[in-house]
Amino acid sequence: MDYINHLNKSQKDAVLNVEGPCLVIAGAGSGKTRVLTYRIAHLIKKHNVDPFSILALTFTNKASNEMKDRIEQVVGTDARNLWMGTFHSVFARILRAEGNKIGYPSNFTIYDTQDSKSLIKSIVQELGYDNKLYKENYVYNRISNAKNKLISFNEYLNNKIIQEEDISSLRPNIGIIYKEYVKRCFKSQAMDFDDLLFNTNILFKEHIDVLNKYQQRFNYVLIDEFQDTNFSQYLITKKLSAVKRNICVVGDDAQSIYAFRGADINNILNFEKDYSELNLIKLEQNYRSTKNIVGAANSIINNNTSKISKSIWTDNEEGELISIKKSFSDNQEGKMVASLIFEEKNKNHYLNSNFAVLYRTNSQSRSIEEALRRIGIEYKVYGGISFYQRKEVKDLIAYLRFTINQNDEQSLRRIINFPRRGIGKNTLEKIILIANENDIKIWDVILDAKKYFNSRISTQLENFSDLIKGFIIYSQNNDAYTSASHICSLSGLTKEFYDDKTIEGLNKYENIQELLNSIKEYIDTDNKESSIDSFLQEIALLTDQDSENNNENYVSLMTVHMAKGLEFEVVFIVGMEEDLFPSQMMLSSRNDLEEERRLFYVAITRAMKKLYLTYSNTRYRYGILKECQPSRFIDEMDKNHIENSIGEVKNRSFVKNLISDKKNKIESNTIHAPSENFVESDLNHLKEGMKIEHKKFGYGLIKSIDKTQNHQKAIVNFKLVGEKTLLLSFAKLRIVK
């Protein structure tokens, strides 16, 4: 394959110049993945570099697998020998090999976010702290941020600034929770996602021989989406490449949008300071979008001061101007978007999958969903509960995890009395208390149950331990699928869900079977280990994006954060209002505002052919009807790329006047003043087609009445607020005619 001829000049420079440090600034749609793929292929094919000596780091397994497949098309099966994967998967691999040096076994458990929060919740309860103040989400984020900055619990407790922050937030004991959390994880022989980075740093810091081993192994280090790295990730890769200095990072500072996860834009902005001999290459040609979309995106990002200068351009067609659409309410916004999708489909013969609706917050999907359902357009909301987070799936996974690691406290909590076997919550808490007080393992307490419990409870615990010991022996002699099927059956899970003949029970049973199917598929895949342990590691490191299937024929509804890396023919960015986008929470500093602007830039550059921006004059926020102002980002766009027909959005003063002119109308639409003769009617006489008056929603027409339910419902099409479903037992209506 003659891959070089497929590249433009800048891309060739990035592929061919493989020695020394290199920073590739890859603008949106500039062929970043192609460059990274071909650079690795070029190292193997033309420079005879051993694939085992190349470390390539990504943020999703999906990206890693796609790149590996592309590389294999060029160099053949040698590509399978690359050290390529997500930061977490690669560092987990190193820790499984070297973790014994810092006190962890090779089969340590990886806690997901839910496991971590559950443990924190237990610790807060055990320490007697107020769970309303010390909410697990808040505490988890504080601990996670500390770990990503490589702040240990000792440093946390002794840092005056951090302590003052916690005291001012009325949560002075987070450091104590952090200390106990680390202790409990270690005792459970478990690491959370942040630990995979934190402990790798500890390993390299405390064991120079291990660091030197991997410095000598990796002659070339490549990092994708470098703008999304945090301090911990950058420090590890900086250490690994310190000897050979062949580090190549690819990213776009304009798409740095994950500061809330700990991503540090300064890693890419200041990269040159660490490497004076840096080769800086800019990929500025956009292959994705039309000239109007590229021009609009450039005009937005140029308002940021913290950036690497570049000029993105395209040879693509001029394309349609950007459309800005206004509505009087968020419900009307939803109807308008649905109608425009319908029109675009008919006009351009698009599929549902050609469309995406992007929003700043998940809650904005409601009005869009309702409108799409109403006109029969199929859609999918991305970012819901993923398969591996469903309770029944996590139940079986907990059995598998505990079979591998009998010190896993969170798995024990899930399985010890599910299905029910007479071991109550008090017994469980006593097991954990005994283990903590005597500094022994929870499994040792269970194995020695007669010492601590009466005969009835000890018998139940002995039965449980016999069950687990049987699973341990069976799994050592069988592959992951056979073992999992055996565990699922003997644990009682299969029967538990199969005997539940409700729709919910059937769905749970099918999900369990699907998990078993996924295990079978996993072990049937070439070059994969077949143990339960290897399967658990694989699924523990999956990201949200890895589980999404973008090939289905749905309109995609997602937050802008979820949309990063994707592209669609037609994109709607809804809720373009001040305090929503940009978010009110991101207006306290210039850095926060610039991150919001980068987020908007990412949203714009998802569009290939057509871009719509929509906003509402009014929107309910936290139960209160708010009058809205168009986003400042609309004002910042170059008006040469915007449809002239929507002149009201081109300057703020015009919009303010427009809203002022319509104020009375808006108020009458949304805050209806009941007529003087308003008296509630007897709704037993209510019929389809009748005109009615509602105290709040005003006048409407009865569209249909459902009398099949215990509570009779009416669907009413109100003139000014749209369609509403009302329970007639509660509705206060006046029949007009």
Active site residues: 32-33, 224-225, 255, 606
Q: Is the alpha carbon torsion for 323, 328, 331, 335 positive or negative?
A: negative
Q: Helix count (H) and strand count (E) of the chain?
A: 31, 21
Q: Which residues pair with 715 in a beta bridge?
A: 704, 725
- The angle at the Cα of 310, spanning 306 to 315, to the nearest 5 degrees, equals 145
Tokens of 506: 């059937």
Phi first, then psi: what are they for 556, rounded to 5°?
A: -90, 125
Separation between Cα atoms, residue 308 and residue 530, nearest integer Å: 46
Q: Is the dihedral of CA 488, 492, 493, 498 positive or negative?
A: positive
Q: What are φ and ψ of residue 73, in 5° steps?
A: -65, -25
The residue type found at 6 is H
The residues that bridge with 223 in the sheet, in sequence order, are: 57, 249
Residues 6 or more apart from 300 whose CB is under 8 A from it?
Answer: 597, 600, 601, 604, 633, 636, 637
DSSP conformation class of 225: S
Burial class (CB in 10 A: 0-12, 13-18, 19+), 648: middle
* Residue whose token pair is 């139960």: 623
Other CB atoms within 10 Å distance of the CB of residue 270: 10
> What phi and psi, each to the nearest 5 degrees, are found at residue 166?
-65, -40
Residue with tokens 């410095």: 215
Pairing of strands 618-621, 713-718: unpaired
Q: Do 606 and 567 touch, CB atoms closer than 8 A?
A: yes
On whether the CB atoms of residues 684 and 700 are closer than 8 A, the answer is no
Say how many CA atoms lie within 13 Å of 257 toward its Cβ: 20
Cα separation, 38 vs 29, in Å, equals: 16
Please give the backbone phi and psi of residue 221, each rounded to the nearest 5 degrees, phi first.
-120, 125
Q: What is the CA radius of gyration of the chain?
A: 29
- Cβ contacts of residue 293 below 8 Å, gap of 6+? 319, 322, 604, 605, 607, 608, 611, 641
Q: Which of 194, 83, 192, 107 is nearest to 535 (CA)?
A: 107
Residue environment code for 550-574, b if the CB has 16+ CB neighbours within 10 A, otherwise e: eeeebbbbbbbbbbbbbbbbbbbbb
